Amino acid sequence: MMKQSARSRRLAKHHKRLKAGSKLNLVALMDIFTILVFFLIVNQSEVRVLQNIDKMTLPVSVAEALPVENLVITVLADTVLVQERAIWQKGPDGVGLTEQENPEFISTLTTELTYQASKRIELSETEQQNGRAVTIIGDASTPYVVLKQIMTACAATGYRDISLAVEQQAKQTNGEG
């Protein structure tokens, strides 16, 4: 048998290595996904998205300030939700929230708001001055009397910093340009 030159041994070794195929390094892939998960968890709190309900059209506003995360009351035609939990629904007689005051609805809402307030007793300095914060999301067709009842119940239970969710109106141009 003939002795192989260094070059031919190197080429044979190289061809043998190429035939073996490559292996996927799962450890590095798992590290990347772990970092990605932590990145997404940390950055998710910066997104300001209120629940989007297809059955609802928000009233339009020109306000610039973004709402902060706080207690959310959603008013639909047949249901009222506090923190996405239904506290009141249209009765079996088909009567929903109307132009008249509903003492039963106010009592139920007051009980729920008192419960929500009891879950977090410590108040910040701003909350002590302005009251607890609440955001009311209601369809543009929601009667004012209903909103007034909700705001009255909120104020009575210490939720005096009330925000109404609205859709921001596009800025008007002066016709220049």
The verdict on domain 60-168 having CATH code 1.10.10 is: no
pLDDT tens per residue, range 12-27? 888 888 777 667 777 8
Give the pTM.
Answer: 0.56
Please say whether the beta carbons of 48 and 67 come within 8 A: yes
**How far apart are alpha carbons 73 and 110 in whole angstroms?**
12
Q: Which residues pair with 163 in a beta bridge?
A: 135
pLDDT tens per residue, range 100-109? 777 888 888 8
Indicate the domain borders of the chain.
6-46, 60-168
**How far apart are alpha carbons 164 and 177 in whole angstroms?**
35
- Here the tokens at position 11 are 């080429």
> Beta-strand (E) ranges in the chain?
60-61, 71-75, 79-82, 85-89, 133-138, 161-164, 167-168
pLDDT tens per residue, range 37-87? 888 887 766 555 556 666 677 777 776 665 556 888 888 877 888 888 888
The pLDDT of residue 177: 43
Neighbours of 45 (CB within 10 A): 8
Please say whether the beta carbons of 167 and 58 come within 8 A: yes
pLDDT band at 171 (very low <50, low <70, confident <90, very high): low
**How far apart are alpha carbons 16 and 8 in whole angstroms?**
12
